[in-house]
Amino acid sequence: MTDLIDLAGKTVIVTGASSGIGASTARALHAAGAHPVLAARRADRLAALSGEFGGALAVPTDVTDPEQVQALVAATLDRHGRVDGLVNNAGVSLHGPLDEVDPAELGRVLQLNVVSLLAMTQAVLPAMRAQRFGRIVNVSSGTTRRVAVGVGAYASSKSAVNMLSSVLTQELAADGIAVSLLLPSITATEFADGRFTLGASPVPGMVVQSPDYVAGVSCGCYARARSRSTSRTGRSGPRSCASPSEPRWGGSARTRRLRLNTRRTRPFRASGSSSRR
């Protein structure tokens, strides 16, 4: 049976909210009547986004700093009294062949993409367990579903996110906490130094999508609470949470894996660089 939960009034922390998928997700949540809590390092970007929402809570946060993570959750509880959801979106890319990857740089990538994601999850669990309710969305990458030549270091960090999500799904189910895994394909954001243009096709069979599209699919992930749910571009469209009739959050304590624009699995080569959201 499908358990649909209205997003209106729900408090959802969004990390990496200053741009791209994070900012689009925050806007979609706000449009659905939720209370997005904005977290990222760039305070000026957060302040501007908060202004769009009439003063939404914005907490400048480096999620690799445990004290700042705890302060973010404490500020959320002080303002709203609960934490209903967490979107683990903060992350950094790392491009280049593996024989040229700096191990120290890879360590920093793992710290942000993997370790901080777990730390953020652990920080919200006490509140969610006390409520017997919670929704966690982990933003991974479509690169984990192919042989990611040229982005192997980044894809390996996101593969760890996939495993964490699968394990958390089972470990937290009894607490009423559902974990979803989002696998975006190439998206037109500042991520990866803004190298991808909306509508372009850097890999045959793949089209660069907008962050708003990913945010819409994310809301569709919340809405369709099934034991196994997969959404692919070109099939039934994602449910938008911007429509007043649509804002629902699926209640099944299962992982929803959404593959977007991943019709081919040819390797993608990119020059060495890293960027963070």
Sequence ranges of the domains in the chain: 4-276
Residue with tokens 């937290």: 172
- Per-residue pLDDT tens digits of the chain, which is 277 residues long: 345 678 899 999 999 999 888 998 999 999 989 999 999 999 999 999 999 999 999 999 999 999 999 999 999 999 999 999 999 999 998 989 999 999 999 999 999 999 999 999 999 999 999 999 999 999 998 888 888 888 899 999 999 999 999 999 999 999 999 998 988 766 545 555 555 555 555 566 566 655 655 665 666 565 454 333 333 322 223 333 332 233 333 333 333 444 333 333 333 333 344 455 5
Active site residues: 154
pLDDT at 70: 98
pLDDT at 67: 98
Quote the crossing angle between the two packed helices 20-31 and 43-52, to the nearest 10°.
20
Residue with tokens 């189910």: 173
Distance, CA of 60 to chain centre: 17
DSSP 209: B
Other Cβ atoms less than 10 A from the Cβ of 174: the count is: 10
Closest by CA to 258, choosing from 226, 232, 237, 239, is: 232
- Length of the chain, please? 277
pLDDT at 231: 31
Task: Report, in angstroms and rounded to the nearest whole number, the Rg of the chain calculated over CA atoms.
Answer: 17
- Residues with Cβ within 8 Å of 24's Cβ and at least 6 positions away in sequence, in order, are 210, 211, 212, 214, 215
Q: What's phi and psi for 172, nearest 5 deg?
A: -100, -5
pLDDT at 257: 42
C-alpha 10/C-alpha 150 separation (Å) is 39
Residue with tokens 């945010």: 215
Extract the tokens encoding 27. 């806007």
Residue with tokens 């305070």: 43
**What is the CATH number that goes with domain 4-276?**
3.40.50.720
